[in-house]
């Protein structure tokens, strides 16, 4: 540098002396392929004890600078210029870099002409609402830049780096930060970086409010080195406090800090980023280990991911990360216990997931009311994106439905491959004193959500056990039946074919069954039901209706229930044709039937000789109700002179019951039925 300055001066590039003992030297342009300075002018004050001088430069470019420096002026108030060195102990500088304009920067410069080294220190750069101190060392094309910034305002960083302004505005980013960084390189090449960023009061909000952060504080440490066409190093991110909410999970670090450490390798050509030795730890919550790889460019994508987690508390994971973002009441009432661990291996060719559950319990329902519980679950599940996968197995020790319907132990052998889960062999689950036999079960992820198909049958379960479990009046008989193909898709359950239930000595056939929004706020049911040869003696004894013997058949068409309350149907029940069983009806049953049909017959019985008979014979009986808009249009087995027959007598003694109410309020009718079932005296209208 010394020889270059002397040559330029002797060549008289531009040389002038003023009358005030000032020497002005125009040096033109300096630099090489690594850096460049243009329009350089040096002004020397020759008569001062302390060497004072001024430097003006039109433009400076250097790889360590984020942008070009323009209109640079430097005034040294106290320095020295010697044959081997140039120093300035007290300097002031003005400059403009991009949108950043700086004035009166306090600086110190030490230039050794013999070793061609430069040291430059600046300690009051105003940047993004904070203050930055910088120290540059340069020797024989090697350079080192140290930065120390305090109280930076993230929201104002876009003025310095325009490429960040869009993201800052879109997510309403704001934070305060302190930065310490060291950059090293040679010539125009940056070769090494180390930095520590401490942030606080970090907050953000996505455009639609789906991503939120509040009160986040922590630090980011990073070291990187360039070599063989790639950057490699280590980084550590810690979150010591604050909260974060996304559509998929919630994270709170206020009491439990989060740390993420990883090594990385970034190769600009062909555009590839690798993370090795990834370690994510959330104290007392979860610990993850793994690696990842991305392909960068116009078609940026994740090409490889491996994550593994040792067994962690399922209760802690669910309550800490998932429960705050769940919106469905059904999911919000789930409680989990036990341990869960997983191993995920993803690539563009295939993906595999191994999941383990140990001594797990799943409960669903509000406090004191748990419609579902499964305990002692152990599972070893394997999923593959390919057509086949290793066998999966899940077992449990006990379960409970609707609080008191008990389930016995069971084991399922499954295959989980692609978008489908299927049962590998038939399985039996004990329910009360019977069992559910599953012949076919499959779950498939479709474009509208999961689709479930099921087929099986119930072995006999005593109605007495069911009654006791559900708090019903004691029922006799058994519940059993075939369960044809059941499908679940888009929150709708549809039964294909006919479901058969054996109850009260007869058969109940269920067709066109459809359950909509089963776990939502307003579940709905649609179905057609057919009743065949129901034993009336068993039925009436169960509900304290009064004794009736004989058979009963009928239909309930177009049944519609909303929130488990009937809103419409067309129901008809009657003695089946050709029924040869004994037909008898008690006085109590006569009273109750009369009450339903509004006939007033029971009063006539109490006032006549018929009161001496406990039972009467009948030929046929029946009733119909078409429910619409809260009104039941009633009818019987055939028309009478002033109404319709509910019971047509036969034998000795015989009695006819004739109803005359054609339109009855459904709520009133239900109230009467409830009163009868509870054993109260009938109300005759």
Q: Stretch 380-387: mean pLDDT, rounded?
A: 92
Which of 77, 110, 145 is the C-terminal boundary of a domain?
A: 145
| Distance between CA atoms of residues 179 and 379, nearest Å | 48
Q: Would you say residue 597 lies in a domain?
A: yes
In a shared domain, residues 511 and 483: no
Cα 225 from Cα 588, distance rounded (Å):
95
Q: What are the beta bridge partners of residue 235?
A: 222, 262
Q: Can you list the alpha helix ranges (DSSP code H) found in 405-474?
A: 463-470
Residue 277 covered by a domain: no
- Together in a domain, 550 and 673: yes
Mean pLDDT: which of 44-48, 97-101, 266-270, 307-311 is highest? 307-311
pLDDT of residue 592: 80
Q: Indicate if 599 and 483 belong to the same structural domain.
A: no
Distance CA 83, CA 204 (A): 56
Token code pair at residue 214: 């509040």
Residue 657 covered by a domain: yes
Which of 404, 406, 441, 435 has its CA nearest to residue 420? 441
DSSP calls for 607-629? TSGGGG-SEEEEEEEEEEEEEET
596 and 477 fall within a common domain = no
Percent of the chain with pLDDT over 70: 89
Residues 598-657 have pLDDT tens digits of 554 444 444 344 454 578 889 999 999 999 999 999 999 999 888 888 888 887 777 788
The vertex-62 CA angle with 56 and 63, nearest 5°, equals: 165
Q: What sections of 145-188 are H helices per DSSP? A: 165-170
Q: Is 488 exposed, middle or buried (0-12, 13-18, 19+ CB in 10 A)?
A: middle
Residue whose entry in the numeric block shows the structure tokens 């068993």? 538
Q: Show the tokens assigned to 324.
A: 């705050």
Residue 402 scores a pLDDT above 80: no
Domain count within the chain: 3
Indicate if the pLDDT at residue 562 is higher than 50. yes
Domain identity same for 564 and 659:
yes
- Between the alpha carbon of residue 680 and those of residues 3, 181, 470, 623, 662, the distances in Å are 120, 86, 21, 22, 25
What's the pLDDT at 460? 87
Please say if the pLDDT value at position 681 is more than 60. no
Lowest mean pLDDT among 412-421, 431-440, 490-499: 490-499
Contacts of 41 (CB under 8 A, 6+ apart): 24, 25, 26, 27, 55, 56, 57
Pull the structure tokens for residue 651.
Answer: 């034998």
Looking up tokens 């993230």 gives: 154
Please state, in angstroms and as integers, the Cα–Cα distance from residue 582 to each residue in 157, 296, 337, following that order.
93, 84, 57
Residue 333 has pLDDT above 70, yes or no: yes
Instruction: Report if residue 546 sits inside a domain.
Output: yes
What's the maximum distance between 2 C-alpha atoms anywhere in the chain?
Answer: 148
Dist CA 590 CA 601 (whole Å): 8
Res 322 pLDDT > 50: yes
Q: Among 3-12, 397-406, 445-454, which range has the highest average pLDDT? A: 397-406
Same domain, 667 and 527: yes
Does the pLDDT at position 18 exceed 90? no
- 437: in domain: yes
Given this model, what pLDDT does residue 47 score? 60
**pLDDT above 50 (res 685):** no
Question: What is the pLDDT confidence band of residue 133, given thresholds at 50, 70 and 90?
Answer: very high
Across residues 107-114, what is the average pLDDT?
A: 86
Give the residue-averaged pLDDT of 536-555. Answer: 86
pLDDT grade, residue 369 (50/70/90)?
low
pLDDT on residue 125: 87
Residues 21 and 126 reside in one and the same domain: yes
Q: Is 538 contained in some domain?
A: yes
CA distance 102 to 94: 6
**341 in any annotated domain:** no
Categorise residue 365: left if φ over 0, alpha if ψ from -120 to 50, beta otherwise.
Answer: left
Question: Tell me: the pLDDT tens digits for 147-179?
Answer: 999 999 988 887 777 777 888 888 899 999 999
Both 672 and 527 in one domain: the answer is yes
349 in a structural domain: no
Helix residue spans in 298-444 (DSSP H)? 314-317, 329-332
Predicted local confidence at residue 384, as pLDDT = 93
Give 271-304 pLDDT, tens digit per residue.
899 999 999 999 889 999 999 999 988 888 999 9
If asked whether residues 567 and 659 sit together in one domain, one would say yes
What's the pLDDT tens digit per position in 214-232?
999 999 999 999 988 899 9
Do both 462 and 531 map to the same domain?
Answer: no
Whether 122 shows a pLDDT value over 50: the answer reads: yes
Return the percent helix, strand and coil in the chain, to nearest 5.
Answer: 15, 60, 25
DSSP alpha helix (H) spans, 486-623? 536-542, 587-597, 601-606
Q: Is the pLDDT of residue 529 over 70?
A: yes
Q: Is the pLDDT of residue 556 over 80?
A: yes
Higher pLDDT, 527 or 369: 527
> Positive or negative CA dihedral for 4, 73, 23, 88?
negative
Q: Is the pLDDT of residue 7 over 60?
A: no
Q: Which of 442, 477, 503 is the last residue of a domain?
A: 503
**CA angle at 322 for the pair 320 and 326, rounded to the nearest 5°:** 130
Whether residue 24 is predicted with pLDDT greater than 50 in this model: the reply is yes
Measured distance between the N- and C-terminal CA atoms of the chain, rounded to whole angstroms: 119
Q: Is 130 found in the same domain as 88?
A: yes
The per-residue pLDDT of the chain, averaged, comes to 84
**Neighbouring C-alpha atoms within 13 Å toward the C-beta of 423:** 17
Residue-number span of the structural domain to which 127 is assigned: 1-145
- Nearest-angstrom CA–CA distance, 212 and 301: 25
Specify the pLDDT at position 11.
Answer: 35
Say which residue, 462 or 446, is predicted with more confidence: 462
Give the model confidence (pLDDT) of 175-187 as tens digits: 999 999 999 998 8
| Most confidently modeled range among 3-12, 355-364, 398-407, 664-673 | 355-364
Considering only CA atoms, give the Rg of the chain.
43
**Number of helices followed by number of strands (H, E) in the chain:** 9, 44
**pLDDT tens digits, one per residue of 473-504:** 677 677 787 888 888 777 788 887 787 888 88
Burial (CB < 10 A; 0-12, 13-18, 19+), residue 420, is middle
CB atoms within 10 A of CB 538: 17
Q: Strands of 128-229 (E only): list them.
A: 130-139, 142-153, 174-186, 189-205, 212-227
Residue 222: CB atoms within 10 Å: 16
User: Which residues 6+ apart lie within 8 Å of 214 measured at CB?
Assistant: 203, 242, 243
Tell me the whole-structure pTM to 2 decimals: 0.70
53-109 pLDDT, tens per residue?
888 989 988 776 777 889 889 898 888 877 788 888 889 999 888 777 888 889 898
Using the predicted structure, report yes or no on whether residue 9 has a pLDDT greater than 50. no
Is a pLDDT exceeding 90 seen at residue 380? yes
CA dihedral in degrees (612, 660, 677, 519; nearest 10)? 170
- Provide the sign of the torsion angle of the four alpha carbons 406, 409, 415, 418, taken in this order: positive
C-alpha separations of 270 from 266, 295, 324, 359, 646 in Å: 10, 8, 41, 48, 87
Of 444, 478, 503, which residue sits at a domain end? 503
Burial class of residue 632 (count of CB atoms within 10 Å of its CB; 0-12, 13-18, 19+): buried
Whether residue 14 is predicted with pLDDT greater than 70 in this model: the reply is: no
Angle in degrees, 0-180, between the axes of helices 666-677 and 587-597, rounded to the nearest 10: 170
Q: Are residues 483 and 515 in the same domain?
A: no
């Amino acid at each position: 540098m010394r020889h270059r300055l002397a040559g330029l001066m002797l060549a008289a590039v531009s040389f002038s002396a003023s009358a005030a003992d000032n020497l002005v030297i125009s040096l033109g342009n300096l630099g090489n392929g690594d850096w460049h300075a243009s329009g350089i002018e040096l002004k020397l004050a020759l008569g001062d004890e302390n060497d004072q001088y001024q430097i003006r430069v039109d433009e400076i470019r250097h790889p360590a600078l984020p942008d070009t420096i323009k209109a640079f002026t430097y005034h040294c108030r106290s320095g020295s210029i010697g044959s081997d060195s140039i120093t300035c102990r007290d300097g002031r500088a003005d400059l403009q870099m991009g949108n950043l304009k700086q004035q009166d920067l306090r600086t110190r410069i030490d230039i050794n002409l013999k070793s061609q080294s430069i040291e430059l220190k600046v300690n009051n750069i105003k940047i993004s609402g904070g203050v930055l101190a910088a120290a540059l060392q340069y020797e024989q094309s090697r350079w080192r830049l140290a930065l120390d910034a305090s109280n930076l305002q993230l929201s104002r960083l876009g003025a310095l780096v325009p490429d960040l302004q869009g993201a800052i505005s879109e997510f309403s980013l704001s934070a305060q930060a302190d930065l310490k960084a060291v950059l090293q390189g040679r010539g125009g090449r940056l070769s090494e970086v180390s930095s520590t960023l401490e942030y606080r009061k970090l907050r953000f909000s996505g455009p639609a409010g789906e991503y939120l952060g509040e009160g986040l504080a922590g630090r980011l440490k990073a070291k990187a080195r360039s070599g063989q066409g790639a950057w490699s190093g280590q980084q550590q991110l810690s979150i010591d406090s604050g909260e974060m909410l996304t559509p998929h999970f919630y994270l709170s670090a206020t009491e439990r800090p989060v740390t993420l450490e990883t090594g990385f390798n970034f190769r600009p050509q062909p555009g590839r980023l690798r993370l090795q030795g990834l370690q994510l730890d959330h104290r007392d919550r979860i610990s993850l280990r793994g690696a990842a790889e991305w392909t960068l460019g116009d078609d940026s994508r994740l090409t490889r991911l491996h994550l593994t987690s040792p067994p962690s508390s399922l209760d802690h994971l669910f309550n800490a990360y998932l429960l705050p973002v769940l919106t469905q009441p059904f999911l919000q009432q789930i409680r989990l216990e036990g341990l869960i661990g997983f191993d995920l291996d993803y690539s563009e060719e295939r993906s595999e997931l191994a999941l383990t559950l140990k001594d797990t319990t799943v409960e669903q329902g509000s406090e004191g009311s748990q419609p579902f519980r499964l305990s002692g679950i152990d599972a070893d599940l394997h999923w593959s994106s390919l057509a086949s996968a290793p066998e999966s197995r899940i077992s449990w020790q006990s379960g409970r439905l609707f609080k008191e319907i008990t389930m016995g132990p069971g084991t399922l052998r499954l295959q989980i491959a692609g978008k489908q889960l299927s049962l590998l062999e038939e399985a039996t689950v004990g329910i009360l004193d019977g069992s559910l036999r599953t012949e076919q079960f499959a779950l498939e992820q479709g474009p509208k959500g999961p689709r479930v198909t099921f087929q099986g049958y119930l072995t006999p379960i005593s109605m007495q056990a069911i009654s006791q479990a559900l708090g019903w009046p004691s029922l006799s008989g058994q519940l059993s039946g075939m369960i044809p193909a059941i499908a679940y898709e888009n929150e709708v359950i549809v039964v294909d074919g006919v479901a058969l239930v054996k109850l009260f000595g007869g058969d109940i056939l269920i067709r066109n069954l459809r359950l909509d929004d089963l776990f939502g706020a307003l579940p709905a049911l649609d179905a057609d039901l057919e009743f065949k040869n129901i034993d009336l003696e068993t039925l009436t004894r169960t509900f304290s209706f009064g004794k009736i013997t004989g058979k009963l058949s009928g239909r309930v068409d177009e049944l519609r229930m909303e929130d488990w309350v009937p809103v419409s149907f067309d129901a008809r029940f009657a003695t089946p044709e050709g029924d040869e069983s004994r037909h008898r009806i008690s006085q109590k049953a006569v009273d109750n039937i009369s009450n339903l049909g509004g006939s007033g017959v029971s009063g006539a019985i109490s006032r006549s000789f018929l009161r001496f008979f406990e039972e009467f014979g009948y030929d046929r009986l029946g009733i119909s109700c078409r429910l619409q808009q809260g009104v039941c249009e009633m009818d019987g087995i055939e028309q009478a002179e002033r109404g319709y027959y509910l019971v047509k007598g036969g034998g000795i003694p015989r009695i006819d019951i004739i109803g005359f109410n054609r339109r009855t309020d459904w709520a009133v009718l239900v109230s009467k039925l409830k009163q009868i079932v509870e054993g109260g005296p009938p109300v005759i209208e």
